[in-house]
Amino acid sequence: MDCCVFAGQGAQVPGMGRDFAEADAEARTLFDKANAVLGFDLKKICFEGPAEELTKSNVCQPAKFVPSSAAYRALQKRRATPFACAAGLSLGEWGALCAAGVLDFDSTLTVLEARGRFMQEACEATPSGMIAIVGASAEQLAALCEKTGCTVANVNSAAQQVLSGSKDAIAQAATVAKELGIKRAIPLATAGAFHSPFMAPAREKLAPILDAITFRAPKFPVLSNVTGRPHANDGAAIRAAMLEQVTGTTNWAADVACAQAMGCTRFIEFGPGKVLSGLIKKIDAALVTANVGDLASLDATVAALG
């Protein structure tokens, strides 16, 4: 059984989605529709950059979603593939919800532009950051958080977590991690402390945006970053969970474990890069991964599916 997955910020690159748009009228329509909904030339930024523009959260979040959506539709057009479930990391969870029919394409774009803008504003209001922790035991991680005041933002695998905190706390975490004997602590080049209490202003601003959008029951299960289990078959409950996701921990490891428990042995990643494929392999090397990020990888994945 297969699970479709969608990555978050960090995998964006200039040129993403361009060959899909050049080869297929439906993909071109997605980018044109995005420009109309957003009111700026997202297509040009996706295809040409500059890379600095793609790092702005209000641009990056819809810019990551549209090529991923084009990739998903391109596979379904070439080889209709039933998925046992879907999952995504952070903003990627919105791509998974769209693929499952919870939100339509236009509504997802609207949410992601606002979400990115509000998160960027929260980052600029209070200096904060993130640090990746590799090879820490549960006890070491707990001690690190207690000593620095950092909180767990992402659980990527048993061996890799990401902490969020103030700039001072992140700097302190790098020192304390060494004192605790943790293998590696790597400060990340992020705009701020995502998936933490620092994002409370963004969560508050996003609430009325989500209230104005229709959330439907998913056509197939979508795994929640917050709970590590499938979202309820209820639009209001999904809306509440996605609002909580802004400030809550994203537990990717739990999502992958849940997909495995549902019988999934193959994970197909949509959009540029193979970030999630790499994390999935670290969780369980026996799992099969594939990706659809351009026409060449689409051909390879179609061939692998048989």
Question: Which residues participate in catalysis according to the annotation?
Answer: 90, 195
Spatial distance between the Cα atoms of 87 and 92, rounded to a whole number of angstroms = 8
Kindly list the distances between the CA atom of residue 274 and the CA atoms of 10, 163, 200, 249, in Å, as whole numbers in the listed order. 11, 22, 30, 22
Task: Supply 242's token pair.
Answer: 């996605």
**CA proximity to 267, closest of 276, 258, 10:** 276
For residues 97 and 103, is the Cβ–Cβ distance under 8 A? Answer: yes
Q: Write the single-letter amino acid at 178.
A: K
**Token pair 């207690």 is at which residue?**
146
In a 10 Å sphere around its CB, with 0-12 CB exposed, 13-18 middle and 19+ buried, how is residue 39 labelled? Answer: exposed
Task: Supply 25's token pair.
Answer: 């009228």
The reply to whether omega before 50 is within 30° of 0 (cis) is yes
Helix (H, G, I), strand (E, B) or coil at 4: strand
For residues 279 and 15, is the Cβ–Cβ distance under 8 A? Answer: no
Helix (H, G, I), strand (E, B) or coil at 87: strand
